[in-house]
Amino acid sequence: MIVYRITTEQWSKSLQASGNPARWNARGRFVIYAAGSRSLACLENLVHRSGEWHGKMYKVMLIEFSDKIKMDTIEESSLKKNWGQINQFSYCQFMALQWINGATAAILKVPSVIINNEYNYLINPQHPDFKLIKLIGAEDFNFDERF
């Protein structure tokens, strides 16, 4: 399977996590976010960058992992009704913390807040199977100026 991550050029050469807080991880929890498609990766960036992307060089990272690598999934139906609201980050972080601490899988498939029935993929760089996840390329990516 190939998943996609859009980042600035300087961070596109290796798989690394910043530890900055986001929907599914609290500060200091190192998780790499990727999306199931280039378009979802683009939308995720637009939502979170708040217009800060102008004038920077971006790359879309192609991340590959085998179907043999165990992946856990959080189904939207298992989440509480308002899980996607901004004030529910701590709830989502708690859900993902169970995955991080349990160390049952290197990858966690989570629903996208932006597009129903699409998914993001969290990658745990501290999991033993992380070595089986490969960065297979990084392509130039330009945001359309109309955004």
| Local confidence pLDDT in tens for the 147 residues of the chain | 999 999 999 999 999 988 888 899 999 999 999 999 999 999 998 887 666 666 678 999 999 999 999 999 999 999 999 999 989 999 999 999 999 999 899 999 999 999 999 999 999 999 999 999 999 999 999 887 777
Q: How many other CB atoms sit within 10 Å of the CB of residue 35?
A: 25
pLDDT of residue 93: 95
Q: Which residues of 111-143 are buried (b: 16+ CB within 10 A; e: fewer)?
A: bbbeeeeebbbbbbeebebbeebeeeebeebeb
pLDDT of residue 40: 97
Placement of tokens 């945001």 in the chain: 143
pLDDT of residue 78: 95
Residues 6+ apart with CB under 8 A from 50: none
Are 32 and 125 within 8 A, CB to CB?
A: yes
Cα distance between residue 56 and residue 140, in whole Å:
11
pTM of the model: 0.92
Angle at 45 between CA 123 and CA 34, to 5 degrees: 20
Cα distance between residue 44 and residue 34, in whole Å:
9
Residues 6+ apart with CB under 8 A from 62: 2, 4, 135, 136, 137, 138, 139
Are 27 and 85 within 8 A, CB to CB?
A: no
pLDDT of residue 142: 87
